[in-house]
Structure 1
Amino acid sequence: MNPILILDYAGIAVFAATGALAASRKQLDIIGFLFFAAFTGVGGGTVRDLILDVPVFWVANPDYLVICVVTAVMVYFTAHLFESRYKLLLWLDAIGLGAYCVFGAWKALGATGSPVVAIVMGVITASFGGILRDQMAGEPSIVLQREIYITAALVGAAAYTGLAYLDIPVMMAAVPAAVLAFAIRGGAMRFGWSIPPYKARPGRRPEDIS
């Protein structure tokens, strides 16, 4: 097995766990857990593969769905043990973001050879599952929070792509890039890091426009 696939499996598992935790917050039944886990786990990768016009990964290898099912069942029986499920969801999401932004960049780089496409696909792979999860759960979208999120995925995907272009071995490029993305996202949650937002300026009056 290609070692970088470890990041793929890790991303699937932790995003599936965040989907199942969202289901626990909504007090859904086991079918709801399975649906949320699968949709969150494979959502970002599905969009990536459709855009890249390559076989959708979980169709080619249904083991990914098995990972989602097993994760959902585990969370169903253990979610009550965690006092702050939302906090756990956020930290698991950060781990998934780190793993998946790098794996998405790796797969896109191999499919297209374009560093720009690789970085964009890394961001989409890392963020889209969480977007879908929040929309389905009726939660505030994680990407609309002021804390850094998309930027962390962007930096991680760009770091991996840059290292890959320097001919750094795959895992030696992937691991530090994934850790960097996780560290940025984790720091944002811990210390409230954010990028200065746009501030609207008063519009000009028609008579001021020459």
Structure 2
Amino acid sequence: MVNEVGELVGVTVFALSGGLVAARRGMDLFGAVVLALVAGLGGGVIRDVLLGATPPGNLSNVWALSCATTAGVVAFYWDLGLDRFRRAVLVLDAGGLGLFTVNGAVTALTLGAPPLAAVFLGLITGIGGGVLRDLLSGQVPVVLQDDIYAVPSLAGSVAVVLLWQAGLWGVTAGVLVAVAVFAVRLLGRMRRWHLRRTPTDPPAWPERPPRTG
């Protein structure tokens, strides 16, 4: 039950990021819904296909489809300035990364996947929706740029597997891991952490524009 709720929350959060990206890129409402569905459901669909769970659960889950569609519409009509769009997408994307990383690894372990496979599936579930969203919106996926993105997801997946094997897994552990992934992702963005050999000047955390008038 807890895993299902976590899945729906992750779907909604990632779907909101998809709708916001669509609005920022000048797409129409249909485009916003499509990006919301792809962002919200993509990671889980990839996970289920790799686990051999077909058809993927989210594609036949009315609640997941409804949450993603509604989130896309809400995000599309969300009246935010450009700077706030960027900030909102970053926060929502980090939240979805944390939730889906935990959910992906736990789902894999529940279905009997070995530890290494569970780590990989946690990572794929965490980054999959964001990668598909960025590709469809004509952007280079965040995971391939300067930002630390896949690293916190990978570390979170490893933490889930270790806690599971040690018999320490529970709701509290899941929340803590998801929050840790979320926090490291945002901290890496704010402090411009990256894995490049030659540091460049990546975009900083978007600052609020100065007030006028």
TM-score between the two structures when normalised by the length of structure 1:
0.88
Q: What is the letter of the counterpart of residue 184 of structure 1?
A: V
Report the CA distance between 1:198 and its aligned residue: 8.1
Q: What is the letter of the counterpart of residue 15 of structure 2?
A: A
Q: Whole-Å Cα distance in 1 between the matches of residues 154 and 17 of structure 2? A: 21
Question: Secondary structure at 2:77's aligned position in 1?
Answer: helix
Report the CA distance between 1:172 and its aligned residue: 2.5
Q: What are the residue-to-residue correspondences of 1:79-94 with 2, within 5 Å? A: 80-84=79-83, 85-94=85-94
Structure showing the higher helix proportion among its residues: 1
Q: Whole-Å Cα distance in 2 between the matches of residues 194 and 143 of structure 1? A: 11
Q: Whole-Å Cα distance in 1 between the matches of residues 22 and 196 of structure 2? A: 33
Q: Whole-Å Cα distance in 1 between the matches of residues 62 and 90 of structure 2? A: 27
Deviations 1:107-164 (A, max 9, x none): 0111124111111000000101111111111112101122211001001111111111
Asked if the contact 2:160–2:169 (Cα under 8 Å) also holds between the matched residues in 1, the reply is no
Deviates more, 1:100-109 or 1:163-172: 163-172
CA RMSD of aligned residues (A): 1.7
Question: Secondary structure at 1:112's aligned position in 2?
Answer: coil
Asked if the contact 1:164–1:173 (Cα under 8 Å) also holds between the matched residues in 2, the reply is no
Asked if the contact 1:4–1:174 (Cα under 8 Å) also holds between the matched residues in 2, the reply is no
> Which residue matches 1:19?
18
* 5 and 82 in structure 1: CA distance in 2 versus 1, 3 angstrom threshold: farther
Q: Whole-Å Cα distance in 1 between the matches of residues 3 and 197 of structure 2? A: 35
Q: Whole-Å Cα distance in 1 between the matches of residues 198 and 120 of structure 2? A: 23
Q: Does 1:102 align with 2:102?
A: yes
Q: What is the letter of the counterpart of residue 46 of structure 2?
A: V
Q: Whole-Å Cα distance in 2 between the matches of residues 133 and 98 of structure 1? A: 17
* 198 and 163 in structure 1: CA distance in 2 versus 1, 3 angstrom threshold: farther
Q: Whole-Å Cα distance in 1 between the matches of residues 191 and 198 of structure 2? A: 21
Deviates more, 1:179-188 or 1:96-105: 179-188
Q: Does 1:183 align with 2:196?
A: no
Asked if the contact 1:18–1:93 (Cα under 8 Å) also holds between the matched residues in 2, the reply is yes
Report the CA distance between 1:173 and its aligned residue: 2.2
Question: Secondary structure at 2:12's aligned position in 1?
Answer: helix
Question: Secondary structure at 2:2's aligned position in 1?
Answer: coil
Deviates more, 1:93-102 or 1:175-184: 175-184
Specify every segment of 5 or more residues in structure 1 that has no aligned partner in the other structure, as ranges.
200-210
Following superposition, which runs of at least 4 residues in structure 1 exceed 4 angstroms of deviation? Answer: none
Report the CA distance between 1:15 and its aligned residue: 0.7
Q: What is the letter of the counterpart of residue 137 of structure 1?
A: S
Q: Does 1:34 align with 2:33?
A: yes
Specify every segment of 5 or more residues in structure 2 that has no aligned partner in the other structure, as ranges.
200-213
Asked if the contact 1:4–1:170 (Cα under 8 Å) also holds between the matched residues in 2, the reply is no
Asked if the contact 2:39–2:129 (Cα under 8 Å) also holds between the matched residues in 1, the reply is yes
Deviations 1:78-122 (A, max 9, x none): 1x3244212221111001000100000000111124111111000
Task: Give the percent of matched residue pairs that are identical in Structure 1 and Structure 2.
Answer: 31
TM-score between the two structures when normalised by the length of structure 2:
0.87
Q: Does 1:126 align with 2:130?
A: no
Larger radius of gyration: 1
Asked if the contact 2:17–2:75 (Cα under 8 Å) also holds between the matched residues in 1, the reply is no
Asked if the contact 2:24–2:82 (Cα under 8 Å) also holds between the matched residues in 1, the reply is no
> Which residue matches 1:76?
76
Deviations 1:16-46 (A, max 9, x none): 0111111101222211111110011101110
